[in-house]
């Protein structure tokens, strides 16, 4: 079982990648997309979006990060991939799944699923432009408006030289509405010879089991499910008997790996806030914490209380004061038990 952390623009950036990989269970990450239009980007653009390039292409927990490129021009993508390759990523991923209108309007992301010939040209050009030992992967949806060309697009990716394919089991038209059509991933898996990773609507251990059964994939990619429950990857691995190695922050709270506990999550929130305060502009800090709490409250009642307390607070000093109090209260409760 291999578990990947999904790229999610505006949510799963380097800060959350750092913290979620500290929780354990994640084997590899893919960055948010780096948009390629008509120019060769300077190195600082790559390192700004994927600062892990400055630490050997890995998060501080040691988890590899593949940098994702998005665009529609094979030549320009290849030139930028060649430059990116010199910066030491764990691999290069290509985006054929973004459903954003602004991206699709310019022929990128999921819009390319109507053009398997262009997809093939992009993958072929990028594969030729980077060293043979550097993995090149791709992420696609089942289609743009429908899934009639899903297998055709997957074959274009595989025959173009990609080493791995992630399939989000919905079309662009279906957006993020449940269900995910995992059985269609099985059709793609049967058609290509490269490893296929299943993605979409994996919120729980039971979802992961059903996804594996329907898709036939032993590799899963988690997105919103991992943001909502940082212990999900560990719990999935424990459920199938795969040894998981939680970080020191989570190890004591995983008897049987049935889910992360609130005391562990408080520690992760404190680490998250420290990174946010160190790396982000002051105006963005409170909003980033509230964004994560908004996801966490779906799983943790305590996070709902925290979210309601902080939702109107934007002063980082007040957030810092609140979080310090929560950390101290959690320590007292843990000592008492």
Residue ranges of E strands in 144-271: 164-171, 196-199, 219-222
Q: Answer for the pair 207, 226: CB distance below 8 angstroms, yes or no.
A: no
Residue ranges of E strands in 155-203: 164-171, 196-199
Nearest to 139 by CA among 126, 159, 154, 152: 154
Residue ranges of E strands in the chain: 2-5, 28-35, 65-70, 92-96, 136-143, 164-171, 196-199, 219-222
Per the structure block, which two tokens stand in for 279?
């790396």
Query: Which of 98, 153, 211, 217 is labelled catalytic?
Result: 98
Residue ranges of E strands in 178-222: 196-199, 219-222
Per the structure block, which two tokens stand in for 93?
């991923």
Beta bridge mates, 68 = 33, 93
Q: Which residues of 302-335 are buried (b: 16+ CB within 10 A; e: fewer)?
A: bbeebbeebeeeeebeebeebbeebbeebeeeee
CB-neighbour burial class of residue 90 (10 A; exposed 0-12, middle 13-18, buried 19+) = buried
Q: Is 98 a catalytic residue?
A: yes
Nearest to 152 by CA among 116, 114, 124: 116
- Enzyme catalytic residues: 98
């Amino acid at each position: 079982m291999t578990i990947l952390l999904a790229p999610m623009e505006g949510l799963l950036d380097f800060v959350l990648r750092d913290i979620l990989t500290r929780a354990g269970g994640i084997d590899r990450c893919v960055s948010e997309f780096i948009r390629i239009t008509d120019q060769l980007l300077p190195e600082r653009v790559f390192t700004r979006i994927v600062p892990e390039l400055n630490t050997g292409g890995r998060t501080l927990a040691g988890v590899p990060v593949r940098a994702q490129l998005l665009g529609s021009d094979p030549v320009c993508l290849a030139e930028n991939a060649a430059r990116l390759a010199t910066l030491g990523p764990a691999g290069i991923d290509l985006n054929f799944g973004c459903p954003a209108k602004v991206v699709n309007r310019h022929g990128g992301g999921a819009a390319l699923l109507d053009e398997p010939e262009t997809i093939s040209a992009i993958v072929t050009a990028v594969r030729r432009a980077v060293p043979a030992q550097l993995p090149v992967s791709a992420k696609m949806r089942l289609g743009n408006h429908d899934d009639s060309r899903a297998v055709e697009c997957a074959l274009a990716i595989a025959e173009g030289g990609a080493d791995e394919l992630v399939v989000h089991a919905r079309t662009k038209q279906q957006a993020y509405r449940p269900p995910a059509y995992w059985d269609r991933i099985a059709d793609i898996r049967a058609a290509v010879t490269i490893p296929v990773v299943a993605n979409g609507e994996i919120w729980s251990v039971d979802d992961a089991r059903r996804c594996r059964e329907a898709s036939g994939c032993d590799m899963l990619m988690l997105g919103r499910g991992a943001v909502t429950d940082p212990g999900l990857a560990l719990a999935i691995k424990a459920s199938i008997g795969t040894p998981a190695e939680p970080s020191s922050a989570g190890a004591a709270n995983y008897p049987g790996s049935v889910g992360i506990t609130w005391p562990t999550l408080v520690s992760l929130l404190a680490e998250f806030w420290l990174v946010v305060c160190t790396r982000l502009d002051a105006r963005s800090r409170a909003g980033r914490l509230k964004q994560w709490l908004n996801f966490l409250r779906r799983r943790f009642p305590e996070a709902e209380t925290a979210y309601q307390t902080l939702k109107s607070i934007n002063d980082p000093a007040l957030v810092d004061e609140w979080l310090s109090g929560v950390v101290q209260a959690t320590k007292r409760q843990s000592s008492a038990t």
